[in-house]
Structure 1
Amino acid sequence: MICIASTSLPTLPDCPRTAPPWTQRSRGLILDLDGTLIRGHEVIPGAQELLARWSERYVIVSNNSTDTAATLAPRLQALGLPVEPSALVLAGEQAVHHISHHYPHSKLMLCGSERLQACALELGLTVVSRDADIVLLARDIGFNYATLQTLTRELTCGAILIVSNGDLTHPGPHGSVIPETGALLQALLACVPGTRANILGKPAAMLFQEGLRRLNVPPADITVIGDNMRTDALGATRLGLSYLLVGNAPHADAPDVARLLEAACSRRHVLPDDVASGNDYQ
Structure 2
Amino acid sequence: MSTNQRPNILFIMSDDHAVHAMGGVQLSGSRLIQKKTFFFDLDGCLYFGNKPAKNAKQLLEQLRTDGKNIGFITNNSREVADEIADKLMNMGIKAYPEEIITATEYVGKYVLDQYGPVKVKVAGSMKLQKVLEDIGHTILVIDDKERAHTIIIGRDIQFNYLKLQRIVEDVLEGAGIISANPDMFHLGIGGKLVPETGSLVASIEAILDREIEYVGKPAPHLYLGAMRMYACDPEDSVMVGDNLKTDITGGNKAGMTTVWIQGEQVYDERAGSNCKPDYSVRDISELLLLYQDTRRLIAEN
- Under TM normalisation by the shorter chain, which class is it? 0.7 to 0.9
Q: Does 1:226 align with 2:235?
A: no
Q: Give the fraction of aligned pairs with identical amino acids, expressed as a percent.
A: 28
Q: Does 1:26 align with 2:35?
A: yes
- Which position in structure 2 is the counterpart of 1:99? 111
- Which position in structure 1 is the counterpart of 2:284? 257
Tell me how far apart the structure 2 counterparts of residues 218 and 123 of structure 1 sit (CA, whole Å): 28
- Which position in structure 1 is the counterpart of 2:212? 197
Stretches (4+) displaced over 6 A? none
- Which position in structure 1 is the counterpart of 2:149? 133
Q: 2:238 is paired with a residue of what secondary structure?
A: strand
Match of 2:257 among 222, 235, 242: 242
The answer to whether the Cα contact below 8 Å between 2:117 and 2:136 also exists between their aligned partners in 1 is no
Name the amino acid aligned to 1:242.
T
Indicate the larger mover: 250-259 or 182-191.
Answer: 250-259
CA displacement at 1:153 relative to structure 2: 1.3
Tell me how far apart the structure 2 counterparts of residues 53 and 216 of structure 1 sit (CA, whole Å): 22
Tell me how far apart the structure 1 counterparts of residues 209 and 170 of structure 2 sit (CA, whole Å): 14
User: Could you say what the CA RMSD is over the residues aligned between the two structures, in angstroms?
Assistant: 2.1
Match of 1:115 among 102, 120, 127: 127
Name the amino acid aligned to 2:181.
N
Give TM-score, length-normalised by structure 1: 0.83
State how many pairs are aligned: 249
The answer to whether the Cα contact below 8 Å between 1:20 and 1:261 also exists between their aligned partners in 2 is no
The answer to whether the Cα contact below 8 Å between 1:20 and 1:262 also exists between their aligned partners in 2 is no
Name the amino acid aligned to 2:135.
L
Q: 1:253 is paired with a residue of what secondary structure?
A: strand
CA displacement at 1:169 relative to structure 2: 0.5
Give TM-score, length-normalised by structure 2: 0.78
Name the amino acid aligned to 1:218.
D
Q: Does 1:86 align with 2:113?
A: no
- Which position in structure 1 is the counterpart of 2:80? 68
Greater helix content: 2
- Which position in structure 1 is the counterpart of 2:162? 146
1:216-270 Cα shifts (integer Å, max 9, x gaps):
223211111111111111111112211111122224722211111223899xxxx
- Which position in structure 1 is the counterpart of 2:8? none
Q: Which has the larger radius of gyration?
A: 2
In structure 1, the gaps of 5 or more residues are 1-16, 267-282
Change (3 A) 1:190 1:24: closer
CA displacement at 1:22 relative to structure 2: 4.4
- Which position in structure 2 is the counterpart of 1:280? none
1:74-102 Cα shifts (integer Å, max 9, x gaps):
12211111111111111121101211232
Q: 1:161 is paired with a residue of what secondary structure?
A: strand
Tell me how far apart the structure 2 counterparts of residues 71 and 78 of structure 1 sit (CA, whole Å): 11
Tell me how far apart the structure 1 counterparts of residues 247 and 117 of structure 2 sit (CA, whole Å): 33
